[in-house]
Every structure is written in structure tokens, then in C-alpha cells.
Amino acid sequence: MSLFSFVITKKTILIALSILFIADSKAEVYYVSSSQGNDSNNGLSIQSPFKSIEKLNTMQFNAGDTIYFKSGDYWEGMFWIKGSGSYTNPIVIDVYGGNIRPIINGFGYQASILIFNDQHIYINNLELYNSFSHLDSIGTTTISAETPDIFLNGPNNSWTNVYTACEIGDGNNGAQQIFSINVTNLPPQGTNYRIARTVANQNWYFSPAQPLSLGPNTITVNSVNFDRTVKFQFSSGAVEFDAISLNGQNMYGGSAKKLTGFGGEENSWGSGKNVRFGIKVVASTQDLENFSFNNLYIHDIYPTPTLNSNIHKGYGIKLESQSDINSGILNTISNIRLVNTTITQTGHYGFWIKSLGLVGIDSVKNNQIIIENCVFEHTGGSGFVPNKSENVLVQNCIFNHTGSSLDNRMWKRGSGMWPFDCKDVIAQHNKFMNAHGPMDSYGSHIDYGNENVVFQYNYSYNNEGGFAEILGDNINCGYRYNISVNDGYREDPNGIPWDKKGKIFWVSNFCGQNPIRCPNVGTFIYNNTIFVNDTLNPEIYFWPNIGDVHVYNNLIVVGQYGEIIPTLIENDFNELYISNNLFYDSTRINLDDDLKNNAIYADPLLFNTVSVGVNNPQLYKTQNNSPAIGNGFLINGSNDSTNYLEHNGGLDYFGNSVSHNSPSNIGAYNGFGTVDILSQNVGDLKISPSVTNNYVNISIQNFTGPIQTEIYTLGGELADIQKGNKLSFEKLKSAVYFCVVVYQEKKKTLKIIKL
């Protein structure tokens, strides 16, 4: 029976209204200002704001409450929002008094903002970062200053200071020794360390010298089956540090920063030592729902571990559901909206949705997730990774430099976005650019265990791994109406064919470790436009036993020169439906026979005339009389818009309609051909192209005399004067320019866009 299928009486309405009135009457508006506030205030007005996050962490908030942080103010610590709102009255965190975002520096706690088993919370207009030490600071010091308290004077002038980890007879019995020091500054000449240890016959062994580096340094000496002495020797006492630990025990530095009630059994990661977040949402005791994150700026999220293996574990936002199948506890997080937000410089993912404890359970998923108008830039791992989620929409976002190596604390690998074990995912109208890394690192990829995932109407540019990657155990997943420019430039470090080298298309059946191979059902790659310049040679590779694969209407243009592009379509246990793809210049592609079925090899007449390719999707439309027009394979047969094999979506990349009754064009553009939008005519004068990254040609009917062109910025400043019928914009920055062409006592003005 429906929740609302009951008889509503006048008395029921009055009771409901009175309850609503009581709930509304409890809602409060709180103000917080680090510059003007005082925790002894009541916080209920701009004139009497609270001062600190510590004050907020003592409070329990109710449905409808609003917490305003003063514009431009700054706080340190973790804001743990305690209390839940409701669908109609969420708890709202926002800004007052200006347009500059308030800043919360997580300051080494696990997160800048924590939501722990609460829900219906909206967070707007904040700046968050979190990379400070996880230890309460007792200040930096030097090795010399801590000698002889922590260190001893060195044995000679080359090794001036020594840390003793264990000695014969102290009962260590040859146990492993792990020494960690967090270095904050090094002398100009640098500093080396070495390990001095006794061997079984009690003679000394000295390891080769190694340089110390800024940040965490971890030195490990493996265990042995005899008693011994282990010492760490340093070549300078001028090394500054703020923390030392031996075998996980702090020898110098404060205690780990944690808030009471969070960080123990409920969360094995505890403090911000080994993992760090801008925002963390945890569902461990119940399902959670209704979260909105709007206009946030989240950056510089890095932990401060004593183990280098954890140095990359910094995440902009993580939503974590914790379940226990044995106890029947199945928790999810649903109704999530992330909009107008920038996440940058994180050790690993920008936004991560992760379900713990649901291995093997396919029916329980996080639900209703919208990511819109966001920027994920210079994330150490991928920008967005949804796990065990359904009804996911990602649109109008920019993913740029995922897998970044901008900081040595980054993971240095990652596709812009990849769903794992998800259902009903649409990613559209996004830009996936400049992904980096030795594995994966495509513009986007489809990991394993998904159903109904489509990447459509996206622009993919200069991604190291490639354009389209699809792993195993997927149903009805693929790519359509995307534009890919110069993707797949990675070379295999070991020169192994079909392994880590960049790819245009890659379909495999990898699905984890147990089992390791699972074929797909209904894989599709159709109506994509791919441009590859002369300097690149990405592969096309389909594994054996990948199930049924449908590859139609793709337009692949490669530069005429350069290395041959290899392709390999395995046939064992595969159902291949490949037809009506266009390859040009096909003499540079070693086409597998399966790719040749009904293929076209003519010039598609793209508007891009630049051999290296241009970073502008508009230039990958086709001109009049293109052989791509009307020569596609007809994709139809279903009225179900999620049946991507038999419903073509009805629109191309540019918003043109795609017929369900007649063949489409080949490629991502389904227009009927268009005039040359890259040329401009003013009377007898013509320039082409009007969008360029270098040269523009000028032609004048029935005129062969001298031509002079004055080039002006939009602000009216003279940028250059050039003579002749060919203009060079190579030395000018990307912008819009007005060109005044002077010839035969005439002046004509045209607009040029320099990319």
C-alpha cells in the first residue's frame, strides 16, 4: 500500500500542520566568524556570531537549521556536522557577508568536513583544503638539536648523527625495524643516510648511502632469525623535521588529531595520517540520503603518512557506505548532487563513491547521483569514480589532467571517469582532456561489472591511454557520438604489443581476480569521430571471448605520415558486428579484416585542415559532399531509450537529429553538410580558415598586388602588422582578433579566432 493511501480527515490535517509548525519553529540560523565572533555569543545574528569550529562541534543541529560562515574568514580543524535535516528542511551550510568563499583548512584531521550517519545536508560556497600534519604540532627541530636526547653523536665526520633502533640483548630478536622521519627542510648540500647493522656473526654491515628527501622518509630493515643491532646514520645534523616514529610509535611529535567519537572501530583509518579528505560522508548504521554540494572549491588534499605507500591517499570528496552481509546490515547513500564545484590537486580521486562489505551483492546500490558543471583538474587519480551506484548522470563537466604528477604525493594515474559495478550511468557533454598514467588513463573508461553505461556527446583530447576502454562482465555498455582528438599517445615501456600502449578502441574481458575473465553482452561503439595526427599510432585491439561487440559508423582520420597504426580483432568466442566505418588515410592503418566490412576509405572532408589537429570540436564536422553523409548503418528497432544497441538516441554530438528510419552519417556529426564555416567573405576578399592555431590565407578576386594586414586585439591594441597573402598567428596568444586588410586603397575588417 502506498504511504499516502489513507483517509485524510480534517483532524489529521490539523495534527500534521501543527507538527510541521513545531518542526519549523525549531529551525535556527547560526552565524560563525573567525574575525568577529566569540564562542560566548549566541550565534543567532550577524552581530553576535560564534567564532570557532570547536564550538560548532559541540552542537546538535536540527531540520531546517542554517549555519552561515562569514565570507573571507578562515578556520582550522574538522567540522563534524551532527544532526540530520529532512527532505523539505535540510540542514544548510553557506556563506554570508560577501562573495569570497570561507575557508576550512582540515589542518591534518581526517576531513575538513565530516558527515557521520546523518543526512539531508546541503553544503554551499566553501573552500576546503587539508594537507597539514596529522600530529598536534610541537614544532620543528633539527637532528643536532635532538642530540644526544634522540640521536647520538656520529662515529666519524662523514656520519655525524646516529639513531639506534635496537641493540643486541634488548629482546628484539631480529624483528623488522621501520624508521620514519618527516623532513621539513634540508641543508643546501642535502643529506644522506645509511643503515648500520650487525649480521649473524656480530660483524657490522653498512648499506650504501641514500639521499633523504623532503616529506616522509621511511627506512625499513627486514627481520632476521638472530639477535642484532640496527642503527640509522646521517651525514648532517642540520636536517629539520617535525615527526619521528619507530615501528609505528611516535618518538617525536604530538599525538594524532582525532575528534572524540570518530576514528576508532567505526573507521579503521582513524586520523588524517594515512588517508585524507575534503569532505567525507560515512553510512555505517543506516541508509543515508539527500546531499547537495554546490559551488565548492576543494584543493590540496594529502595525508601525512609515515609510510610512503600511503602518500597518495588524498580524496576531494568520499561517500562511503559500510555494510556487513553476515549481520544483514546493508547500507547505501542516495540522492546526491555535486554541482558548480572545482576539485583540484588531490593525491588520488576527486570524487569517490565507495561501498564496503557488499562484495557479491549486485542488487544493493547507491542511487540517484548527479554531477553537473564541475571541474576536476590535476587530480592524482581519476576525477570521478562511482562504485556500486545506479542512476548516475554526469554532464557538462571538465576533466583535465587526471593522473597528474604535479605533486610527488600524487597517484600519477587515472582516467577522467570510470564506473565500477554500476547500473544506468549516463556521461554526456563533458570534456575529458590530458589524462596521464602508465595504465588506464583514458579520457574515460568503463570498468567491469556494469550495466547500461553510455558515454555520449563527450569531447576527448590528448589522453595518454586512449579514447575508449571497456573491460569485462558488462551489459549494454559503450560509447557513441563522441569526438576524440589525439588520444592514445602512450608507448608500452617494454615494447610489448597489445599491452600498455595507447589505444583508439580497447575491449577486454578482464573482471578482477576471481574469475579473471568474463565476456560482455551488448558492447557498442558507434558514430564516434576520431582524429589521430602523424606523431601518434594508437592501436585498436579486441580480446578473444569478449562476447558480442557492435562497431558501426565510426569516422577515423589519421595523419598521412608516421608509423603504421596496428589493429587486431581477435575472433575466438566473439560475435562481431562491424560495419560502415570510415578510415582515412587508410594506407597508414594496418586494418584487421574484420574492420574492413563495408568500410569507406575516402576523405571525409573535415573542417580541420591542420595536420597536427586542433583542440576544437567544431572543426570535426564534415563539409558539403562528404562521403560520410548518409552512409551510416541504420541503428533502430526499439522505443526503449536505454537499449543503446537498437535506439540511436535521436541526436548527434552537435544536437542535430538522427533518424530512426534512414541511415545516419558516419561519425559524430549528423548534419546535411554545411558551408565552410571556417572561411569569411567580404565582397571580393576571402580569408580561410577563420579559426586557426597558426596560419590564415587571404585571397582577393582579380587582384595580385600588395596586401597589408593590421591585427588588433578586442581591446583595440595593435598586435601586429603583416604583409602578403598569408598571416601567421603563431606568436600571438589564444584570443579573438580583428584583422584590417588594406589593399588597392580599400580596408576590410574580419574576425579571426586564434586557438
Which pTM value belongs to this model? 0.81
User: pLDDT grade, residue 746 (50/70/90)?
Assistant: confident
What does DSSP say about strands 192-198 and 210-211: parallel, antiparallel, or unpaired?
A: antiparallel
737 pLDDT exceeds 50?
A: yes
Residue type, 95: V
Mean pLDDT calculated for residue range 522-544: 97
Residue range 82-116, pLDDT digits in tens: 999 999 999 999 999 999 999 999 999 999 999 99
Residues 6+ apart with CB under 8 A from 101: 71, 95, 125, 126, 127, 295, 297
Do 397 and 426 contact (CB within 8 A), yes or no? no
**736 vs 215, residue with greater confidence:** 215
pLDDT tens-digit map of 114-144: 999 999 999 999 999 999 988 887 889 999 9
Percent of the chain exceeding pLDDT 70 equals: 94
Q: Which of 596, 569, 585 is nearest to 498 (CA)?
A: 569
Q: What is the pLDDT of residue 256?
A: 84
Note the pLDDT tens digit of each residue in 2-21: 332 323 343 443 344 444 44
Q: How many residues does the chain have?
A: 755
Q: What pLDDT, in 10s, does the model give residues 23-71?
A: 445 799 999 999 999 999 999 999 999 999 999 999 999 999 999 999 9
Domain 680-754, CATH class in plain words: mainly beta
Mean pLDDT (whole number) for 535-561: 97
- What is the rounded average pLDDT for all residues in the chain? 92
Question: Which fold is adopted by the domain 141-252?
Answer: Jelly Rolls (2.60.120)
Who's near 175: CB < 8 A, 6+ residues apart? Answer: 166, 223, 247
Q: What is the dihedral of CA 640, 645, 647, 649, to 10 degrees?
A: 110
| Cα gap 33→400, rounded to integer Å | 35
Assess contact for 669 and 621: CB atoms under 8 A. Answer: yes
**Three cell numbers, residue 43:** 550565534
